[in-house]
Structure 1
Amino acid sequence: MSLRAAEFFTELCLPFTDSTVVGNTYYAAPVPGGPLRLRISFTGTVYADTYGGLRAAVIHADRGEIDAVALSFVDHGTFHRRDEARNTSRDSSKYGTFDKYHRPGQPPWEGAVTTGLRDAIEQYTRVWFPGVWEAASPVRAVGRSAGTTVLPPPARPSVRSR
């Protein structure tokens, strides 16, 4: 089953220029020439062909995996809007997940809002790859969503009088 992983990882707008997607896994060398690599893959659930999050791992060239973190779609609100719109109960096995069944022409992760995942990946990788995010771009690109997203109005600065 094609998860259209390359599209999903592109949507995350990660700043690592030395990166590639092989199968359903994203690989990056955030610091060129350094011994550490980043691997991000989809995590399965107890249900066949159903995915509930991402697993980000730091890999050392000689020592193998040295650290990993699980990033669930539920914890990062990835499918919150989609599930609310569909009235999917939190008790349902479909809540906060996606599976191989999807509408023709759409990715299986249709309706995903990747901002929370991207923020979590940024927070995690800043520990292992300091300075990479700052060097990538001073302006943060906003990741698009596979569904329509209504953004809240910008917050107004508060003015206090004394």
Structure 2
Amino acid sequence: MSLQAPEFFAELCLPFTDSTVVGNTYYATPATGTPLRLRIGFTNALRADTYGGLRLTVLHAHRGEIDAVALNFVDHGTFHRRDEARRTPVNSSRYGTFDTHHRPGQPPWEGAVTTGLRDAIEQYTAVWFPGAWTTPTPNRTASRTAHQTPAPLTIHKGGRAR
């Protein structure tokens, strides 16, 4: 079954307008005019097709990976409520994770509370992309516009411009 990564990243409500999801990975250019990029992917847990967190990577366009950090779902309380309601033991390999096997009509990460993850992503990106979370959405109408050039003045006999 599908991981539904685009929906998961949409749930995080990241403010980066220049972004896309390719496969199971989120890519963004949080600050325009710099060679730095952000990549967010899922980290594997102990079991196959099971995910235990996110890995944030800062990439330089020419130098490659500069820095990375792993954000575990357990550390950020992402599935705490769900696991508590299901009485999943803390020492279980299923605690604080999700897998691609889920109820029909529901995302595999059903029950996730993404506030802690989002806050951690904001803190991390503030170091590498200062102001990226407060930058307003670029105005798409502020692009080049056609200007009409006024017709040249014509000088007629008599020396006056008309």
Bin for the TM-score computed over the shorter chain: 0.7 to 0.9
Q: Corresponding residue for 1:65? A: 65
Query: Equivalent residue of 1:126, what SS?
Result: helix
Which protein shows a greater Rg?
A: 2
Q: Corresponding residue for 1:29? A: 29
CA contact (8 A) 1:16 1:136 kept: no
Structure 2 portions without partners, runs of 5+:
138-162
Give the Cα–Cα distance (whole angstroms) in 1 for the partners of residues 22 and 15 of structure 2: 18
Instruction: Provide, for residues 25-76 of structure 1, a one-character-per-residue CA deviation record: whole Å limited to 9, x for no partner.
Output: 0000011231000000000012111100000000000000000000000000
Give the Cα–Cα distance (whole angstroms) in 2 for the partners of residues 61 and 89 of structure 1: 43
TM-score, length-scaled by structure 1 = 0.82
Tell me how many residue pairs correspond in the alignment: 137
Give the Cα–Cα distance (whole angstroms) in 2 for the partners of residues 12 and 136 of structure 1: 18
Q: Corresponding residue for 1:96? A: 96
Confirm whether residue 9 of structure 1 aligns to residue 9 of structure 2: yes
Show structure 1 runs of 4+ deviating over 6 A.
Answer: none
CA contact (8 A) 1:15 1:136 kept: no
Q: Percent identity?
A: 78
Q: Corresponding residue for 1:149? A: none
Q: CA RMSD in A?
A: 1.0
TM-score, length-scaled by structure 2 = 0.82
Give the Cα–Cα distance (whole angstroms) in 2 for the partners of residues 67 and 41 of structure 1: 14
